Each structure stands twice: as C-alpha cells, then as structure tokens.
Amino acid sequence: MFSPLKMSKHGDIETGTQPLLYPSMTENPELRWSFIRKIYTILTIQLLLTVAVSAVLVFVTPIADFVVSSTLGFSFYIVMLVLPLIILCPMYIYRQRHPVNFIFLGVFTVCIAFGIGLSCAFSSGKNSRTPFTVFFLGPQSLVFLLNIIYL
C-alpha cells in the first residue's frame, strides 16, 4: 500500500534530508529558485509593458492616425520595427554588465511593444479598436505574474 509519509531510502521528506534535485547538482536549490523567480519577473515586466504600450497605441486614436497620415509617423513606425534588430548587437556585447544590460533590454522591449501596438492599431477594424493581441497578452501576463507569486 502506498503511504505518502513513508521514509524514502535517501531521507525523510518532511525533515528536508532528501538528496539534491539532480544527482550532479552542485549549487544550492535556493539559488536555482531565485534564478527562476528572476526570469519570470523579467518576462512578466516585459509582457505588462508590451500590453500597456499596445493598449495606449490602440485605444488612443490620434496616435494611430498620426502614424497613418504623416510621413514622419510612418518613418517612426519603420524605425521602431528595425531598431530591435540593431539593439540586439549591444545587448549581446553588454550581456554581462548588470545595469547596462537591463537598460538595453528595456529599450528592446519598448521598441517591440511599439511595433506590436502599431501593428494592432493598423489591423483592427475601422469601428473596432479592440484587437485580439492586446487581449491575448493580458491573460498571459497574468499567468506569469501568478507564477512569480507562487514561486
């Protein structure tokens, strides 16, 4: 019969004397979990920033009208689509420098968010300013946030 409180041959689950998660694992499990929390935090912030910028660009109609009706707005849209590709090079070069890599990651995220938001504003119907992408990224951001809280 199966008993969940049964002692394993490696130690007791309740006392915390179990072996490491992986046999070749040399680091502390708390270090692994803090790394996972850091990754989920960064992803959640990126998704929330993307949703916020996209929602502003979609629901504030003068911004979309400016991009559609003027040459300056259209060139800004093109720059926002190309700039993330350019930012990838300094992100790779400064990947080990702590404050600089987060600044480049933030600029990269904002550029991607502008591209997504303006694309949503262009693809939504004339009477409808509620694109599927904004409503798709919102619940996804909530899932990442709940994962951070749970971990």
Type of residue at 12 = D
- pLDDT the model gives residue 17: 57
Residue 116 has a CB neighbour count (10 Å cut-off) of 21
**Phi first, then psi: what are they for 11, rounded to 5°?**
150, 180
Residues of the chain with pLDDT under 50: 1-2, 5, 7, 127, 129
- Contacts with 117 (C-beta within 8 Å, 6 or more apart), sequence order: 50, 53, 54, 55, 56, 57, 58
* Local structure of 11: helix, strand or coil: strand
How far apart CA 13 and CA 5 sit, in angstroms, is 8
- Contacts with 58 (C-beta within 8 Å, 6 or more apart), sequence order: 64, 117, 120, 121, 124, 129, 130, 131, 134
- Would you put residue 128 in left (φ > 0), alpha (ψ -120 to 50) or beta? beta
pTM over 0.85: no
How far apart CA 135 and CA 75 sit, in angstroms, is 27
- pLDDT the model gives residue 1: 46
How far apart CA 151 and CA 144 sit, in angstroms, is 11
- pLDDT the model gives residue 127: 44
